[in-house]
Amino acid sequence: MNAAENVRVRIAPSPTGAMHLGLVRTALFNWLFVRGQGGKFILRIDDTDAQRNQAEVVRPILEGLRWLGIDWDEGPEVGGAYEPYFQSERSRWHAEAVERLLHTGHAYWDYATPEEIDAERKQAIESKQGVFRYSRRWMAEGPGERHRFEAQGRRAVVRLKMPSAGRLELDDIVRGRVEFEWLREQDHVIQRQDGTVLYHLASAVDDAQMRISHVIRAEEHLSNTPRQVFILQALGYPMPRFAHLPFVAEPGSRNKLSKRKLAQYLRNRDFAELVEHGRRLLDRVGVGPEEVPNPVTVDFYREAGFLPEALVNYLALLGWALDDHSELFSREELVAAFSLERVNRSPASFDPLKLMAIEVRHMLALPVEERVRLTRPWLVRAGLVLRPVAPQVERTLSAVVEAAGDRIKVTGDILDYAGFFTSDDALEYDRAAFEKRLRAPGATDLLRRFRDRLVSVEPFTAPVLEDLLARFVAEEEVKVGAVIHALRVALTGKPVGFGMFETMAILGRESCLARIERALVRAESTEER
């Protein structure tokens, strides 16, 4: 076995619903690091016994990771040499660790009640020192004492017996040297009265037993590291390397991004726009506002039609940079370029605009067939296209995707061109645009005369049509704008869109004539006014 195979990293999410973007970023950095090293990426679920129905509860996380292309070598559904990968199933090892800690004097039974502890804590915090250190007043040193306390009806928790002198010096890969005074660390509880263990104990033990070599996690855990180091040392386990990542912060601030503060983020214009964009698209395929996933979770981006490689690329740039100019990376390029040493120390806020910019670049880098494959389901879901998709419709879709270019940012944006897939007599018009362009003085007469030329022009292709219009406006002595705007509204129902001649060619002569005719009739009728 070579050194690379000893590189083992993990993410250990607790299954609490959808997958938060911060978790995604942590997972990504772990994955990028280990794929570059040739080591193993482990997915462990830090669930608790209270959570039932394992498979159901981890589904959002598994789906999120899979969608992003972040694969795991060991963990749920794939197994591995260090099973089980659900923390709740590892309690016998946790109990065994607590036993050893007790036996070696690194932990003790404590019979204080929660109220007594609270009182001490409160007093300590109000005092000048400001540091809470449990008095160990109800610490039971031997069996005799335990019996005595238990006779009083007290029940014990197990606490860590933290050192009272010296310091811990940690060489964090991203933060450099960090020092802690042991004196400031508390006698944390590692086992509850009911015998179940707490997260820090379980996590440290699981990491050690799973041979985790690098603990790469969010900065919030930096302050928790001393107690885990203590547990590891006391148990005689080798020390992993630590790398504490900066937070993914809220749009426009340095606060940690949180699932619960969505309402507040919606006050950020850019973020609100991003969310609105997704909601609008989902609404058109029958997904109500209540069913739209939280945009602080990965589900939103998947549902709204973002490209996973774009999200990955963007998130990689949040807290990491290769140099002063590289921004666009494929997954493979990221793996090759990534290093923990180049991870930033300061929090990076989530910028919806930049995400969108990266998204567009990735979208444009895709071949047309691929974009067709990704956009097609939206048309089907919206009921605009029937399965199996007819060859004629397929050709239209391909042409629309091609012509729309960077206007299709997320896959759902194909719905902006729904007009190409509706029947000629079902086209909906933008009311304001219709008024402005088709009810302008002389607009219908001009459009009708141009329509007449369309009947016989051959072939019905963009260059020929462009030439036709050029000659037409010259003869009529009007500007191009006088007819083209009315034409656009008549053909697409909208004031904006891609090239007019491509639009006409894609629709074909028959549709163009029918749509113009329909628009003319409507424009000249009075009832619509």
- Is 409 among the annotated ligand-binding positions? no
Among 4, 6, 56, 113, binds RNA (CB under 7 A): 113
Structural contact between residues 353 and 386, judged by C-beta atoms closer than 8 angstroms: no
The pattern of x and - marking residues 357 through 396 that bind RNA according to CB under 7 A reads: x---------------------------------------
Burial 320-350 (b: 16+ CB within 10 A, else e): bebeeeeeebebeebbebbebeebeeebbbb
Q: Toward RNA, which CB reaches closer, 299 or 502? A: 502
Phi, psi (rounded to 5 degrees) for 179: -120, 145
Q: Toward RNA, which CB reaches closer, 287 or 468? A: 468
Among 224, 264, 398, 511, binds RNA (CB under 7 A): 224
> Which region, judged by CB under 7 A, interacts with RNA, from 71-79, 282-290, 383-391, 404-412?
404-412
Tell me how far the alpha carbon of residue 417 is from its chain's centroid: 27
Largest CA distance in the chain: 111
SS3 at position 467: helix
Contact between 163 and RNA by CB under 7 A: the answer reads no
Residues 242-301 that bind RNA (CB under 7 A): 246-247, 249, 252, 254-256
What single DSSP character describes residue 5?
G
Among 204, 274, 317, 418, binds RNA (CB under 7 A): 317
Contact between 501 and RNA by CB under 7 A: the answer reads yes
Tell me how far the alpha carbon of residue 523 is from its chain's centroid: 47
Q: State the Cα–Cα distance between residues 339 and 37, nearest whole angstrom.
A: 10
Among 67, 93, 132, 182, binds RNA (CB under 7 A): 132
Residues 430-449 that bind RNA (CB under 7 A): none
Active site members: 259
Contact between 153 and RNA by CB under 7 A: the answer reads no
190 Cβ neighbours under 8 A, 6+ residues apart: 98, 101, 107, 158, 159, 160, 197, 198, 200, 201, 231
Joined tokens for residue 453: 């030329």
If we measure between CA atoms, which residue out of 425, 477, 424, 468 comes closest to residue 446?
Answer: 477
Q: State the Cα–Cα distance between residues 169 and 181, nearest whole angstrom.
A: 9
Contact between 114 and RNA by CB under 7 A: the answer reads yes
Size of the site for RNA (CB under 7 A): 81
Contact between 17 and RNA by CB under 7 A: the answer reads no
Contact between 181 and RNA by CB under 7 A: the answer reads yes
Contact between 176 and RNA by CB under 7 A: the answer reads yes
Among 57, 198, 366, 382, binds RNA (CB under 7 A): 198
> Which region, judged by CB under 7 A, interacts with RNA, from 72-80, 386-394, 420-428, 481-489?
481-489
Q: State the Cα–Cα distance between residues 43 and 455, nearest whole angstrom.
A: 64
Structural contact between residues 206 and 90, judged by C-beta atoms closer than 8 angstroms: yes
Among 146, 221, 373, 381, binds RNA (CB under 7 A): 221
If we measure between CA atoms, which residue out of 359, 362, 357, 364 comes closest to residue 406?
Answer: 364
> Which region, judged by CB under 7 A, interacts with RNA, from 143-151, 276-284, 401-409, 453-461?
401-409
Q: Which residue has the tokens 């006779």?
A: 151
> Which region, judged by CB under 7 A, interacts with RNA, from 40-48, 68-76, 330-338, 379-387?
40-48
Among 266, 389, 484, 514, binds RNA (CB under 7 A): 484
Please enumerate, by residue number, every residue annotated as part of a binding site for ATP.
259
